[in-house]
Amino acid sequence: MKIPSYKFFDTKEISSDYTRMYKKINFKETYPANIKRFEIFKSLLKRYRPKTIVDAGCGAGMPLILIKKMGFNIIGYDKSKNMVEEAKTNLIKHKLSKNLINVDDFENAKHIKNNSVDCILGMGAFLYSKKFNETLKNQRKKLKKNGRLIFSLRNQLFDIATLNDYSIKFYSNLYEVNKLKKSLKKKYLKLFQGYSNRKKFKLKNIDDHNVYSKTHNPLTIENEILSKVGLKCNGIYFYHFHALPPVFENIDKINFRKQSFKIEKPNDWRGFFIASGFVVDCQKI
């Protein structure tokens, strides 16, 4: 059984990691995907200039603090208590009120009134929702008329380009391999003998920690999900590009990360396939 995300993130060690992520780019320590993601959010906020903002699933609070210092009126919440404590500590360090952040559930926030917010941000939270459509409906209720919901997701199409276990699963679903006869299925699986097995490598992602999360298809999300819950898509922006298949991060970590960082462009069409994350900019209708 998969672990709920808030339990995984509800540790002091991980909450401290999320404070460090936004401080300095260090290719030796990690790939700065969160920094590139934040640049997209920051650009959209500068474009729209919302009067009131809520950071849903705000984590250790560093993006919220940076947005607050840009002059925006923003508050946030997170379900992980240790994250909230870390965030309050960070707020105090930056001479801001610790009351800007509280404990609440991004899937169904209780302390945010309906029709009260101009913009809601989800920087890495919504992809952990077990009832994704319901979460979007609940977040939409909090927005004022024409309010904006901006959130990030894992890119399902990235599985095509990973050339590992994810690719095998993606193509198996695409070609409905389970419907094939055993003899044909066996021949089909031989096609992937050269694909890498992620279990052999040290670098781990959220799936390797058995945390529940979900990927989404950027090509279909508007018609299959957003429009059905009363949201209009204004744009999709990609981040966490991979200059080569992910296995190269285990072979030559520093150069892989530097090359990937160079090609980060939110509007690059290649993002549909070589970026592991994307940001959805949508609006209440």
Extended strands (E) in 71-205: 74-78, 101-103, 117-122, 143-155
Structural domain contains residue 64: yes
Backbone angles phi, psi at 169, to 5 degrees: -65, -45
Structural domain contains residue 172: no
What's the pLDDT tens digit per position in 256-268? Answer: 999 999 999 999 9
Q: Is the pLDDT of residue 11 over 80?
A: no
Q: The whole model's pTM is what?
A: 0.94
Residue 206's pLDDT is what?
A: 86
What's the pLDDT tens digit per position in 126-170? Answer: 999 999 999 999 999 999 999 999 999 999 999 999 999 999 999
Q: What is the mean pLDDT of residues 186-191?
A: 93
Q: List the structure tokens of 54.
A: 């809520």
Structural domain contains residue 228: yes
Range of the domain at 272: 5-159+212-284
The CATH number that applies at residue 84 is 3.40.50.150
What's the pLDDT tens digit per position in 191-239? Answer: 999 998 887 777 778 888 889 999 999 999 999 999 999 999 999 999 9
Number of domains in the chain: 1
Structural domain contains residue 188: no
**Distance (Å, rounded) from C-alpha 11 to C-alpha 6?**
9
Contacts within 8 Å (CB) and 24+ apart, 207-212: 209/3, 209/8, 210/2, 210/3, 211/2, 211/3, 211/4, 211/5, 211/8, 211/128, 212/2, 212/3, 212/4, 212/5, 212/128, 212/130
Q: Is the pLDDT of residue 21 over 90?
A: no
Query: How many whole angstroms from its chain centre is CA 113?
Result: 25
Structural domain contains residue 206: no
Q: Is the pLDDT of residue 23 over 90?
A: no
CB of 54 within 8 A of CB of 117?
Answer: yes
